[in-house]
Structure 1
Amino acid sequence: MGVEQHFLSEDERGFAGFFPEHAKLEQIATGLVWAEGPVWLNDIQELRFSDIPNNRMMTWSETKGARVFRQPSQRANGHTLDGDGAMVSCEHGGRCVSRTGTDGAYEVLATHWQGKRLNSPNDVVVKSDGSIWFTDPPYGIISDYEGIRADREIDGNNVYRIDPDARAVELVADDFDRPNGLAFSPDESVLYIADSGRAGGFGFGFDDTRPHHVRALDVVDGRKLGKSRVVAVIDIVPDGLRVDTEGLLWISAADGVHCYTPAGERLGRVLVPEVVANLTFGGPSKSRLFITATSSVYAVETRRQGVQAP
């Protein structure tokens, strides 16, 4: 399967140069409803991703193609890996953060903060010290499309940290509208967080008065967030994001993937023929860009390498 590729270069460095000369955007899986949360498992050379409305988690490999990994999946959304190679997941249906070990063992890591039920954990990253950082917007409780409609118990949509030793859930940011994708800079001195407030949620349309940007927040003492600045304003709403080894930001949006410098300069876009949700780097050289987009998953080879899990 293949589709025509499009690169829009917007700087003198030449965004198209980030890709091999004959690179093509390839559709590697389809038949999904809303594909999300891709994560690359290097040890077994497989991509896992969510198909949220179908309440299933999928896996894909070059040799076996796409197949169901887990169903039901508690309408899982974002995934990452911890230092042991286990998959850490955000579950809309379970309103929790969970962990699936390399042996398949499953455990719930977090369901509440200060005695109140989480909204619907959305996306997650693991820091090199083993702490787990995740966003908690309400997308999984405002309708039955991506989760289970329910009343919120927490006022606000926050960002949290799970302490690696005490397993306590700690609030690290409470000034976001709808925090979404997140990723650390290569040296972990900055945490980038997308705010998709402009997207009211499935069936709710757009609200131009609300945020649609990515912020960079200084990481203080390895466990708190400090000074914040906007590094990218995405008119059609940012969702997921990843950082490559040279510190460039790769941000998913409805039209494709936008690439920004940490200083806020947009270098270019990879346009995708379906509405894009999320992305990750993977493949044998960690240079293949995998993109989840509505009913399909796409891939394109790059000359960049993504920052991998610790």
Structure 2
Amino acid sequence: MTTLYDTRDPRFRDLIHPNAQLVRIASGLEWAEGPVWFPASQMLLFSDIPAQRMMRWTPDGGLSVFRGQSDYSNGNTRDAQGRLVTCHHGTRSVTRTGHDGRVTVLADRGEGLRLNSPNDVVVHADGSVWFTDPTYGILSDLEGYRADPEQPGSFVWRIPAGGGAPRIVCRDFRQPNGLCFSPGARLLYIAESGISHDPGVPAVIRVYDVTGDGLSGGRDFARIDAGLPDGIRCDAAGNLWSSAADGVHVFAPDGTLLGKILIPEVTANLCFGGPRGNRLFVAATTSVYMLAVNAREPGQSAITS
């Protein structure tokens, strides 16, 4: 029997269901990434980056193509109005899709230069859009279009609420990747995935204090001991869930590794969702998996029986 959980701390048992089954809800993908759940439509969207498509999954309808030409979309999120916000490697941009289907470019340049290849994105409660901009999408023609970077580095950017030019809020990373706010958005967690191309870069998640429209006090929060951190999410209790080579690593708010959910493929990203908010969706290489957990994303109402 395949082991699903690796418990490192007794607190982990409060977050999982021992009898829950890991269900593969999508397969045959090239590189699954950027899952986001839309409660209003009971729909999961995610990217299949090299295939240049976005996929849709619903409990009743199963899997279908949401967008056939995605401009090599990667990370996705939703804003307070329930609109889709997406990072694209192909156009090196961040866009928003309105309820009418109209796509608006929120940013494709920063400080007068083309962005590298926006990777992951989150929206603050004030409406500002924060995104990471590593070079993965321009390193080859697999996930975008090979090109020389115009930016002098790989940064984390903030687009003001209501739009406008993005501004750099963090320069501390070789390849900033996943990011997420803590409950209440007092903290911002950012994954460093630079070890993918430089073994000297630590596979760490760093945490910053959110100070108005910027960040301060950066410090290491946790280290990934299998592969590297990519997509990350906080649950409503402030625990941090991170992708890794062997699955999903769950850390307490104090940085203690509580345990691991072992996934049979290299994991790229994850999100919470489902009809009651207590399903973990995991994008892992060629597949997307679903697992019942005792956690939900910040802002969701409590789970009741």
What is the TM-score of this pair, normalised by structure 2? 0.95
| Residues 1:98 and 2:95 aligned together | yes
Corresponding residue of 2:303 = none
Q: For 2:290 and 2:148, locate their aligned partners in 1 and report how far apart those are by CA, in whole Å.
A: 38
In structure 2, distance between residues paired with 1:211 and 1:143: 23
CA-to-aligned-CA distance 1:47-69 (integer Å, 9 cap, x gap): 00000000000000111111100
* One-letter amino acid of the structure 2 residue matched with residue 240 of structure 1: G
Q: Are residues 1:234 and 2:224 paired?
A: yes
Post-superposition offset of 1:16: 3.4
| Superposition map of 1:191-230 within 5 A | 191-200=188-197, 207-220=198-211, 222-230=212-220
Give the number of equivalent residue pairs: 299
Closer/same/farther in 2, CA of residues 80 and 59 from structure 1, 3 Å limit:
same
* Structure 1 residues 81-92: aligned runs within 5 Å: 81-92=78-89
Please state how far the C-alpha of 1:107 moved relative to its aligned partner: 1.1
1-side partners of 2:60 and 2:3: how far apart? Answer: 23
Distance 1:138 1:238 in 2: 16
1:263-274 matches, cutoff 5 A: 263-274=254-265
- How far, CA to CA, are the matches of 2:49 and 2:270 in structure 1? 15
Question: In structure 1, the residue corresponding to 2:14 is in which secondary structure?
Answer: helix
Aligned to 1:203: none
**Aligned 8 A contact 1:177 1:211 in 2:** no
Report Cα offsets for 1:113-170 as digits up to 9, x if no partner: 1110000000000000000000000000001111110111001000000001352211
Paired with 2:188 and 2:289, the residues of 1 have a C-alpha distance of 26
**Cα distance in 2, alignment partners of residues 166 and 141 from structure 1:** 25
Structure 1, unpaired ranges of 5+:
201-206
Picking from 183, 187, 209, the partner of 1:186 is 183
Amino acid of the structure 2 residue aligned with 1:281: F
User: Over residues 181-221 of structure 1, what are the superposed CA-to-partner deviations in whole Å (9 max), with x where a residue is unaligned?
Assistant: 00000011100000001012xxxxxx32113100000111x
Secondary structure of the corresponding residue to residue 13 of structure 2: helix
Aligned pair 1:78/2:68, yes or no? no
Report the RMSD for the aligned CA atoms in angstroms: 1.3
Q: Is the 8 A contact 1:8 1:16 kept in 2?
A: no
User: What is the one-letter code of the residue matched to 1:11?
Assistant: D
Superposition deviation, residue 5 in structure 1: 5.4
Paired residues of 2:138 and 2:144 also in contact (CA < 8 A): yes
**Structure 2 letter corresponding to 1:119:** N
Q: Is the 8 A contact 1:29 1:298 kept in 2?
A: yes
Runs of 4 or more consecutive aligned structure 1 residues displaced over 6 Å after TM superposition = none
CA distance in 1, matches of 2:2, 2:281: 16
Distance in 2 of aligned mates of 1:109 and 1:4: 44
Distance in 2 (alpha carbons) for counterparts of 1:241 and 1:59: 21
- Cross-structure match for 1:245: 236
SS of equivalent to 1:276: coil
Shift of 1:41: 0.6
The one-letter code of the counterpart of 1:20 is H
The TM-score normalised by the length of structure 1 is: 0.94
Of 249, 253, 261 in structure 2, the residue corresponding to residue 262 of structure 1 is 253
Identity among equivalent pairs (%): 51
Maintained 8 Å contact 1:241/1:251: yes
- Equivalent residues of 1:95, 1:118 under 8 A apart: yes
Q: What 5-or-longer segments of structure 2 have no aligned partner? A: 301-305
Q: Which residue among 3, 6, 18 is the counterpart of 2:4?
A: 6
8 Å CA contact 2:85–2:94 kept in 1: the answer is: yes
Deviates more, 1:54-63 or 1:97-106: 97-106
Q: Secondary structure at the match of 2:195?
A: coil
Return the alpha-carbon distance in structure 1 between the equivalents of residues 119 and 202 of structure 2: 17
